[in-house]
Structure 1
């Protein structure tokens, strides 16, 4: 019998491809040695979800260490558009076909929020690493189960809160970490408010749209354009319908909350609250039914207080001079303050800003870009800049706000058990039902 070793087979395939003029793309998993991939291998990435957030996947083909080999979306026109932009890679309507491919090393999940965790969990079981757009899950239970499965299968997970790869954000947080603003006893987080409205007018499902696959684990619902087809618009129903998301409190709030969590996880202080008390507005008319406005007070062990608001409330209340603009994270210390956001940063004095060039011994990881950092982690097997543990913690903050508003109660949080205590209704809201046959397997 003419047998060929795995190494020999891969080598002959590579030589044959070179002789025929084919690009020499070998999956990183095929060349892995001792837990790390060969420096000459590329990470083969599959894009799952081809809506507005998927445009960032073009970065994979610009980075010399990765390439997109497949795209997937239940809307044929969307996936074909991305396919053309990504040099004619394979396209699929069903993500399970993508996960079955042995040559796919990693997936970039850019679906609507209600699919983030189910696909992440199935990807982990299939041996794929994953980049998941924010927010994480649509329930606290989903967050916790995704973490358990990703850990069990030893997969790399990068959260799509890209501010951790922005230099001025890192520099500003390092000022707070190294004591340049004194002891931090107060923090503020704010993000763009949500949207109300949305028409319930039924329209025929487009011929190229597998609507049932798009719904997936969400409840059965009649098709209408505002529910899921306004891709690229902030008023897209996928952000503001509670069956698919918890609204901009997480969809946008994940970004400034993640910046707060980056500090919390590195400051040597308790990194989760003991209580959350929130008030807010939920539309009662129209299709959209997630929070449009919110104002939440968090208390942490040790005395840290954090206020998390929508931007309209934040700029109207103006609780501190550093609260300004549509989104941001503000750290208030005994000797000064620093505010960071996607577009820039502010400090209480110019002298404080100058210290950012050499802030001290506490340094945060330097990332050239969120996607590039993820690819590097797939190859090195070292944790990326925004790992799943941190993502779960910051996402829980958003869920506590949503649940507090919906119950009208102050919530007590047991971080050791990772559960709400003393409120049975609120505990029940930590979970979501899933439409059969979809389910979250522990």
Structure 2
């Protein structure tokens, strides 16, 4: 990320007129002409031209109405008065209607009068055809991120997408290329970039407060084994074929998908068919934050290997359990990733160490956390390190106080969001390289420029997966 000393963040290209600016200016010009010709008084309500006028609002649709959407993403945008949630989509029609009610009820309570302006969809492709929608929240299972994200970018919709960016490295490259070509504002849900302690820790490391960086330790949560395998009838309210998307056709069982009652943590998170487990689930957060401190936001490791790994067997869930992987980057820094470390990131240099974590913060109430005291938000080998002031002429990241708000500001002000698509892809691809090392259990040599393994056909075959007809990411 570019050096930026402005307390207001990265400035955008102001020569480009946004849709809202164009509509607002056109509307005002039209109204002014019409009024002048008609001879009517030029007194209009402030709501017509105010900052929250319809022409200035960002109209948003939520694609995915489950746990993370209801508890994190929809509340993340509806708190801003210049954003309007106007539609919701879910392949489970009960969840779609429940999401519609949630949004309508929120606006009813906020405004003190009945509101029923939200439309429910069960097919995101139909939703993306709406010209009234400016932007979308993509809060769906990991295996559908790329196909929906690519479709949204091609439809010209700005995108806030839950991490990880993709199921495979090839998919990740496609979505990054398509989004950058489209020009839409894309924000990955790596909200640690909008957390003060993660930004400050990375700035301290980048500005040499622990000397020369040598090793980064990344601690992740774990996932339980288990899951019931018995086949069940597909609920009438669920489009299961579309839910499977490009992955292989397999029979339905509730713990492979999401709960039919309530919004607890869904079982698909623990099935390799739909994701890679915690290496991408939380690894996409922590490895992204580690890349910040390392100065590797748009790169990746050059060597990676697995010291130990245990994959769940016997039940439905089959993602990795206890594991330790390691990688070396081109700058010589070593990264060790394990779910036996304390949840967080430890930067270790020649002059000390810094540890950073979320502390007791949870994105949703069902986030996996260990019982007992939570890790400190910020710690160091010497307290003086954490008292350091980053000088005006030193390296600074953009300041983002809230992740959804930063995305909305990027749309409104035509600037870059704090977690753009290429850096989202690079964090995800690093995680997936670790996952491939877990599967092959040997040292791999990765070329982050070409995004392929060196002289390793077996590993390179794992950069993509076969996709069912009708659901290919192209």
2:367 is matched with which residue? none
CA distance in 2, matches of 1:373, 1:9: 28
Other structure's SS at 1:429 match: helix
1:275 is matched with which residue? 303
CA distance in 2, matches of 1:385, 1:304: 24
2:364 is matched with which residue? none
Counterpart among 357, 363, 369 of residue 396 in structure 2: 363
- TM-score, length-normalised on structure 2? 0.80
Number of residue pairs matched? Answer: 409
Deviations 1:137-158 (A, max 9, x none): 1101011111111111112110
CA distance in 1, matches of 2:356, 2:152: 33
Change (3 A) 1:173 1:387: same
1:408 is matched with which residue? 441
Change (3 A) 1:84 1:417: same
Counterpart among 63, 67, 84 of residue 52 in structure 1: 67
Counterpart among 382, 400, 424 of residue 415 in structure 2: 382
Other structure's SS at 2:330 match: coil
How many Å apart are 1:395 and its aligned residue? 0.7
Change (3 A) 1:359 1:410: farther
1:191 is matched with which residue? 220
Is 1:179 aligned to 2:208, yes or no?
yes
Say if 1:27 and 1:43, in contact at 8 Å, map to a contact too.
Answer: no
Other structure's SS at 1:383 match: coil
CA distance in 2, matches of 1:174, 1:186: 16
Is 1:303 aligned to 2:325, yes or no?
no
Change (3 A) 1:356 1:432: farther
Say if 2:197 and 2:378, in contact at 8 Å, map to a contact too.
Answer: yes
1:264 is matched with which residue? 294
Counterpart among 346, 354, 362 of residue 338 in structure 1: 354
CA distance in 2, matches of 1:292, 1:107: 33
Is 1:222 aligned to 2:251, yes or no?
yes
Say if 1:83 and 1:90, in contact at 8 Å, map to a contact too.
Answer: yes
CA distance in 1, matches of 2:326, 2:425: 19
How many Å apart are 1:251 and its aligned residue? 0.8
Say if 1:131 and 1:374, in contact at 8 Å, map to a contact too.
Answer: yes
Change (3 A) 1:62 1:302: closer
Other structure's SS at 1:281 match: strand
Other structure's SS at 1:136 match: coil
CA distance in 2, matches of 1:10, 1:223: 56
How many Å apart are 1:418 and its aligned residue? 1.1
CA distance in 2, matches of 1:24, 1:82: 29
Say if 1:178 and 1:360, in contact at 8 Å, map to a contact too.
Answer: no
How many Å apart are 1:207 and its aligned residue? 2.4
Say if 2:283 and 2:431, in contact at 8 Å, map to a contact too.
Answer: yes
Say if 1:293 and 1:309, in contact at 8 Å, map to a contact too.
Answer: yes
How many Å apart are 1:196 and its aligned residue? 1.5
Other structure's SS at 1:260 match: helix
CA distance in 2, matches of 1:363, 1:328: 22
Other structure's SS at 1:150 match: helix
CA distance in 1, matches of 2:50, 2:91: 28
1:430 is matched with which residue? 463
- TM-score, length-normalised on structure 1? 0.86
CA distance in 2, matches of 1:252, 1:114: 16
Is 1:354 aligned to 2:356, yes or no?
no
2:10 is matched with which residue? none
2:472 is matched with which residue? 439
Other structure's SS at 1:86 match: helix
How many Å apart are 1:205 and its aligned residue? 1.9
2:94 is matched with which residue? 77
Where structure 1 has 5 or more consecutive residues not aligned to the other structure, the ranges are: 29-37, 315-323
CA distance in 1, matches of 2:282, 2:49: 36
Where structure 2 has 5 or more consecutive residues not aligned to the other structure, the ranges are: 1-21, 35-42, 105-115, 360-376
CA distance in 1, matches of 2:147, 2:50: 28
Deviations 1:313-335 (A, max 9, x none): 22xxxxxxxxx3xx211111111
How many Å apart are 1:11 and its aligned residue? 5.7
Deviations 1:352-380 (A, max 9, x none): 11115758621111112110000111122
